[in-house]
Each structure stands twice: as structure tokens, then as C-alpha cells.
Amino acid sequence: MNAALPLRIRHAAESFVVEDVGGLALVYVYFEEDPSWQRLVNRLSGADAKV
């Protein structure tokens, strides 16, 4: 079965959280807006993390 699950994406301080319909956090995608810190901590930019 290939049905899409009802998911919600919530923006937290330095991450996006993908939650299921019950509010259970399934994935955290961390990002950093400062380009010098992006390289240092190996994180995506906020725009890249949204995709």
C-alpha cells in the first residue's frame, strides 16, 4: 500500500520536526543560517532543510 500518511512539519528553534497525526516526532532536520557555522557543524541552511 502506498498511501500518504498525514504528517505535520513544525518549525522549531534550529530544526524542522516532522510529526505524525498523533504528534509523535518522526524526524528532526537541523539547520544553521550562518554560513561559517554551517560548514563547522555540518548542517544545512534553513532553505535547504525545507526541501
Give the model confidence (pLDDT) of 1-51 as tens digits: 445 678 999 998 888 999 999 999 999 988 888 778 777 787 877 777 776
Biggest CA-to-CA distance, the chain: 44
Q: Residue 1: its pLDDT value, please?
A: 46
On the 0-12 / 13-18 / 19+ scale of CB atoms within 10 A, 23 is exposed
